[in-house]
Amino acid sequence: MENAKKAPSKRLIAKIVILVFFAVVAIIAAVQFWQLRHFKEEVVVSDALTDVKWFSDYVPSLEGTWLDTPVFFFDSGVEGGTVFICGGPHPYEPASTVAAYLMMENIEVTKGRVIIVPRANYSGSTEGMLGDAYPMFFDVESEWGTSTFRIGDRYTNPLDQWPDPFVYVNYPSGQSQAYQDIRNLNRTYPGRENGTPTERAAYAILEILRQEEVDIAIDMHEAEILYPVTSTYVAPASVLDREHFEETGEMVFVEPERNALDVAMMSGMNLSGQFLMKSEASPTSLHGLSHREWSDWSDAMTILMETPEIFIDKITGPRTEALMTEGKDEFLQKVTDKGLTYFPYDMEFGTPMWYRVGRHLTGALETLTWAGMFYPDIAVEASWPTFLEMQDLENQGVDSVGAFLKDPNAPENADNVYVIYKEPVGENMLKWEE
């Protein structure tokens, strides 16, 4: 008689169970990654909208890639200046994008023109910071329902740009920076038309500033409270002599025709009754950042704004959705009590989303006010919700961010809904030469 077939051993069964377990986990993770990658945010844009373009209109090679992103124009038709407002350069600083959305949904322009990019590094919004284990999304509640937004990464998604070099060298300064900063939009300015995908996105922004003859450029960011440049305006006190550089290759900095630092300082002083806002001069020796390169390579007067966001501090407790939206953490409170932070943090209040968004909204309006006072020929008159309006709603128990967001499903808003998404052509990873 033939021997009966042996039953599978316990070890084999254990291996099969483990294999199935990891296969299930991998499938779940893949579904979640796909959902984040393809999630579509909706904005009910104000009737003041006059045009929509894309980065690919300025750098055609971005067409069909995840670096392409929409550019919204709000033109009053009345002669005045042009302001460019950049949201989402670092997607894991989402108050900048939410502030841009609130501007777009509520804006009125009575003089000049406003240009808004809500998701400057769209690719970076399609992933989370690798290894940091935090949520993909956060919600904002309104009377009509829930709005969901991505949190995203600091860098361009490696699916769209890879590999990183050992050292990133900024163009054209030649300054060496951290390897991962080759995927950091705010380290790759002024960019290159045929550079890496991130450099091309940076170049698209510079082309917007140049082609649209932007007078005032505002870059919205968030920063850790353990970082000195938080609650701060950063603006250049001097700019590159471009003609001298083109002739000699030497970087020499001269006094600008319009001084952005003066505008930043007066704006910060005037805001002191509402919230702390310092001012710092952009270093001439630190390259790749908007507050240096935008004014060096265009005629725009540039100001960068930082709000306090404890979610990206490295010593917090679990990075939950509540930490993002409420900003309350006992560990940072202990560090603050020891005088080691650069922001007067109070855990009882935290750094809630409305507070950070409101700071950006009012901070931008304040710069427009002072820019118009210093330089009347480039004055821009616009309005959107302010910090004090949001504070009043919060004191009444109303979620002030949600209060200023409109329902994309309401029939009266149907013609104004804009989806911040354009289907890429496959997985189009651009090729480039170092």
Q: What is the DSSP string of 30-58?
A: HHHHHHHHH--EEEE--TT--EEEEGGGT
What CATH number should be reported for the domain holding residue 43?
3.40.630.10
Of residues 72, 282, 260, the one with CA closest to residue 186: 282
Predicted pLDDT of residue 426: 56
Domain span at 273: 11-420
* Per-residue tens of pLDDT for the chain, all 434 residues: 455 567 778 899 999 999 999 999 999 999 999 999 999 999 999 999 999 999 999 999 999 999 999 999 999 999 999 999 999 999 999 999 999 999 999 999 999 999 999 999 999 999 998 888 899 999 999 999 999 999 999 999 999 999 999 999 999 999 999 999 999 999 999 999 999 999 999 999 999 999 999 999 999 999 999 999 999 999 999 999 999 999 999 999 999 999 999 999 999 999 999 999 999 999 999 999 999 999 999 999 999 999 999 999 999 999 999 999 999 999 999 999 999 999 999 999 999 999 999 999 999 999 999 999 999 999 999 999 999 999 999 999 999 999 999 999 999 999 999 999 987 765 555 665 55
1 part of a folded domain: no
How many separate domains does the chain show?
1
427 part of a folded domain: no
**Which residue spans within 204-354 are E strands per DSSP?**
216-223, 232-235, 239-240, 253-254, 278-281, 301-308
Distance (Å) of CA 361 to CA 77, 106, 157, 202: 23, 11, 28, 23
* Cα–Cα dist 188/198, whole Å: 7
Cβ-contact 360, 95 below 8 angstroms = yes
Q: Which residues contact 141 (CB under 8 A, 6 or more apart)?
A: 399, 402
